[in-house]
Structure 1
């Protein structure tokens, strides 16, 4: 082995290697969630100085046809629109801009739609429009120029609100998540579920903007054929630190972590009110997801909960939340994901937390201990110490899993209980797979129990929750005694009779 080593790699010139057109496929496969993608578009509206943003679902009877995000921002000239529609297009971001990489509009849109059209106008320039059609984009980065008269027609559609003098419309067509067949109430159920999640996501991640008097987001649903407006409501801010009373009289506290690469980082350390049912507390995933760091970049929440490798989440820290405004120059200490849905923090930050302290000498570690104490004392005051359980897992609705996590401690280091449908003999309603830790429900009775609704992984939440309540202790014991076996047989008989009665009712309705 030779000992000489060149620290600089010698080169012999350079070669231009433009990306293959298939790069567009990679761009649209970055795992954008629906709510995250819409939030990325709203970020662009905020950067454009918008005061009013409308998220507009358009339907034709039972069929959802398009989704539009409309704003009254400063708009774009034709040249600016070309830059905006260019992948990684070079533009000068303002110091407090939410945009960063020049890919959000394209990657967020094409992750969920086969076509994205952008139409914009300013006070000084004529209306212009561009469209990315996925099949043309991947064949050679061919971006369509929207016919000017249609571009103006689309803007005129929103002339009363929100676009008065200037603004932008982003239109999605062939949205992949839209129900393929809207009959049987599928479209209504999709809209109810999707709009609820979207409102919570936007209300949480943009709560500092929504709390201002001059900024609004509206979600609306309209039938394009009849003009009927089914829904039109304003998104409310969901401040994850808006507890009515602090969980601890000495908090919140402002703690400082000295991080050599970026200087002092301020930690606003809060302790939530125990056993809160407010949306501001419960809107952030499970009890394990919602504790920890809440990172903001230019007032936009970019991470809601998590400990960033500082420690593992646990039930006893469910009331601990720390607000951190990222420094303008984060160096390599904080790295924001392209989707603005998380922050990667270097070991330099987590090491600084060990020594972080406030002006009165309270350390960050003592703050965590105080949050844990508040949680434990609240449990004691409730008069009950609940036994740890195996939690529900795959097949149970996330809301059910969250509630169980809130109410019951989990047996550590054990797999959860899952539930699934499977073909069984019609004489039984359920089976228990102890080794696989799974409750098996009889597929024969599924359609009757769902009452014609479409099935899915987390369907029948009421039934599955009741089965979990009945059976979780069976999995927590090594074997079933004679009394437990008799109970299982009793439940089996009652549930089979009830399921058959459901089948008879379906037959009578037919």
Structure 2
């Protein structure tokens, strides 16, 4: 038996197999989050040398109509724009460019809008534009040519803000997650939530650029009929390493990872101070998500936290963060995801971490021990030796989950406790399902407890927090003893009485 089959496959020629037009649908279904998609467009603006980028929400009274990203970069000629709008079109990226795959503009835009229009102008060429309309894109890759007069009109609309002589405007129409009906304050609530998340995303992943004096991102909201500007603010950098004083006097410290296939990679190891309330610490995911590696590519953060199979997340390592600037040529060791929100690392890198050392010969694994020690000592100084618990999950407001995870160590490998409103025929206030790790709340009392306000998945955060504190121990035991059963009955009786009183108050108000 030979091993020839491993190396050579005989062929008799080749055949051209172009992609089906429905590939556009696949391109728009890559799971781009809204904030990640906008960040991808801003990356293009940075690559174009932009100093100012404006993210502009346009509304018609209570209805959101369009979203635009405008920059004062070098702009594109008609030929360059055709390449930018071609599916899989590749240009020659500069050595420090943030773009990589040639798909970001199309996939990011069409993931969230039914149409994307791009208008651009250089110093020496007229304004030109192209539009992808999904209905036409899936019918043979038909890309519309924007009328030159309209292209210039759109450029002129943003003259001096930020476009002067050159720049690019990207316009989304038919944005999928815009509220369909803006009445009742829905549009205002949507803008508040979305702009807050967008500001945090851009502030974090582009914090090194935003820290420069020559680069700004502005988020604005304008009424297209009256010209009234409802909001206009600059995005602030959110430095995940921006503590005033480190949590350990020996850090930050550089460790070098020796790799057989490429030059050594530097790790800048940090220990955050315990109990920090700074946004740079608190805004980066949960306690378990915000620890670990922070990978940068050309000064753009591409992964915020995570251990990449080096170890499991651990409550005791919540102060540990390591900055890694990826080499220009990552080879097979570092592979960036298409959406630039994560890095796949090879087993070669993970294995080399055990032998990574600083200039004095100290090993990287000693840093892990130091970060854990800082956390444990901070707990002791606070007089806490709290027992590990099963954490909260679905139904709890993210701020509540974060506070609990900050204050209590979590049992590793345990599914979290969910809480939800459900129908109950017995008049109880709550029910416990050990198997599904769920606390059920009687939907009959929901409206009264919410004071008539509209509910949602994470509503009633105060009540749900108290229910968690009362009941989490039930899920940490195999069975309930007589004393615990008596307590459950006591709580049930008191809560039912309180909920009925709330119902009576609502009835009296009516």
Q: Secondary structure at the match of 1:44?
A: helix
Q: Whole-Å Cα distance in 2 between the matches of residues 424 and 122 of structure 1?
A: 65
CA distance in 1, matches of 2:374, 2:362: 16
Shift of 1:506: 4.8
Q: Does 1:321 align with 2:321?
A: yes
Q: How does 1:398-477 map to 2 (within 5 A)?
A: 398-425=398-425, 427-477=427-477
Contiguous gaps of at least 5 residues in structure 1:
none
**Cα pair distance change 1:153/1:439, threshold 3 Å:** same
- Corresponding residue of 1:66: 66
CA distance in 2, matches of 1:477, 1:3: 57
Of 453-462 and 73-82, the range deviating more from structure 2: 453-462
Counterpart-to-counterpart distance in 2, 1:439 and 1:251:
43
2:347 is equivalent to residue 380 of structure 1 = no
Deviations 1:252-283 (A, max 9, x none): 11110011212110011111111111110111
- CA shift for structure 1 position 474: 2.5
User: Conserved in 2, the CA contact under 8 Å of 1:355 and 1:363?
Assistant: yes
Kindly state the Cα deviation for residue 140 of structure 1 after the two structures are TM-superposed. Answer: 1.1
Over 3 Å counting, the alpha-carbon distance change for 1:150 and 1:352 in structure 2 is: same
Residue 180 of structure 1, CA deviation: 1.7
Change (3 A) 1:492 1:6: closer
Partner of 2:202: 202
Q: Which residue of 2 aligns with 1:263?
A: 263
**Structure 1 residue 489: Cα displacement:** 3.3
Is 1:219 the counterpart of 2:214? The answer is no
Post-superposition shift, 1:376? 0.8
Q: In 2, are the aligned partners of 1:262 and 1:327 still within 8 Å (CA)?
A: no
Point out the more displaced range, 190-199 or 489-498. 489-498
SS at match of 1:296: strand
Q: Following TM superposition, by how much is the alpha carbon of 1:70 offset from its aligned partner in structure 2, in angstroms?
A: 0.7
| Partner SS for 1:149 | helix
CA deviation string 1:134-164 (max 9, x = no partner): 1111111111111222222212111131111
Residue 57 of structure 1: how far off its partner (Å): 1.1
219-228 or 338-347: which moved more? Answer: 219-228
5 Å-filtered alignment, 1:90-239, equals: 90-239=90-239
Provide the secondary structure at the position in 2 that maps to 1:286. Answer: coil
C-alpha offsets along residues 440-463 of structure 1, whole Å, 9 cap, x if unaligned?
Answer: 011223334344544333233222
Superposition TM-score, scaled by structure 1 size: 0.96
What is the aligned length?
Answer: 510
Change (3 A) 1:505 1:172: farther
Q: Which residues of 2 match residues 357-368 of structure 1 at below 5 A?
A: 357-368=357-368
> Could you list the per-position Cα deviations for residues 431-483 of structure 1 after superposition, in whole angstroms to 9, with x for gaps in the alignment?
11122221001122333434454433323322222211221122223433444
Q: In the aligned structure 1, how far is the partner of 2:443 from the partner of 2:202?
A: 38
Q: Deviations over 1:354-382 (max 9, x none)?
A: 11101111110111111111111111111
**What SS does the corresponding residue of 1:184 show, helix, strand or coil?**
helix
Which range moved further: 101-110 or 404-413? 404-413
Tell me the residue number matched to 1:7.
Answer: 7
- The whole-number CA distance in structure 1 between the counterparts of 2:497 and 2:230 is 41
1:338 paired to 2:330: no
Determine the structure 1 residue equivalent to 2:280: 280
Q: 8 Å contact 1:426–1:444 — kept in the other structure?
A: no
Task: Report the CA distance shift for 1:25/1:334 in structure 2 as closer, same or farther (over 3 A).
Answer: same
CA contact (8 A) 1:426 1:442 kept: no
Where structure 2 has 5 or more consecutive residues not aligned to the other structure, the ranges are none
TM value normalised by structure 2: 0.96
* Cα distance change of structure 1 residues 3 and 151 upon mapping to structure 2, 3 Å threshold: closer
Please list the CA deviations of residues 62-91 of structure 1 after superposition, one character each: whole Å capped at 9, or x if unmatched.
Answer: 211111111111111111111110011121
- Give the secondary structure class of the aligned counterpart of 1:419: strand
Change (3 A) 1:451 1:19: farther
- In 1: Cα distance, 2:73 partner to 2:509 partner: 54
Please report how far the alpha carbon of residue 497 of structure 1 lies from its aligned counterpart in structure 2 after TM superposition. 3.8
Aligned position for 1:82? 82
Partners of 1:248 and 1:163 in 2: CA distance? 46
Which residue in the other structure is 1:249 paired with?
249
Deviation per CA, 1:88-134: give whole Å up to 9, x if none.
11211000000000000000011111111111111111111111111
